Structure 1
């Protein structure tokens, strides 16, 4: 099962019934935008008890197309990585 943005907003609406849905959506979008901006500026985003998002640069390289065997140049690119906290790890793995 996956969780969508609208599902999260519905859960927030249940927890905070006195807030309007549009206000919850606005706050959630601001949160996501700030995370995007921080990651774009190569800053790490730490959410205590949950984990850390950080940017990692993959070096440029010469790779190979597995289907044809042809050499292909792969330019440098940036990836977003996530490292979960010990707390989240324990919660996910407890049964």
Structure 2
């Protein structure tokens, strides 16, 4: 599902809300998650999962084509850990 499909589904399930309002709500939620993660905060959505940022240390890697050593800088990467409810639903346990 892509963002526009999510917006359409929410608008369909909530006929009192206009498509423009639903789009603003969805965009605001995603923007707030991104902003919180950019600050290094953890975002937890109970039953769904938690978004966090992990730090990868600088290291020496290898160019797969030439085999030469390449310095890889430290970086921060997004990380998502599923919640128990989501994991159970994906595995057929309606728990």
Which TM-score applies when normalising by structure 1?
Answer: 0.94
Any idea what the Cα deviations from partners look like across 1:5-64, whole Å, max 9, x if unmatched?
A: 010011101110111101110111111110011000100000011000000010011111
Runs of at least 5 residues in structure 2 that lack an aligned partner in the other structure: none
Q: Hey, what does 2:75 align to over in structure 1?
A: 77
User: Where does structure 1 differ by over 2 angstroms across 4 or more consecutive aligned residues?
Assistant: none
The DSSP-based 3-state class of the residue aligned with 1:46 is strand
The DSSP-based 3-state class of the residue aligned with 1:36 is helix
Tell me how many residue pairs correspond in the alignment. 93
CA RMSD of aligned residues (A): 1.0
The DSSP-based 3-state class of the residue aligned with 1:49 is coil
Which residue of 20, 25, 28 maps to 1:27? 25
1:49 & 1:22 partners in 2: Cα distance? Answer: 28
Q: Hey, what does 1:43 align to over in structure 2?
A: 41
1:49 & 1:8 partners in 2: Cα distance? Answer: 19
Which residue of 59, 63, 70 maps to 2:61? 63
Which TM-score applies when normalising by structure 2?
Answer: 0.94
> In the alignment, does 2:75 pair up with 1:94?
no
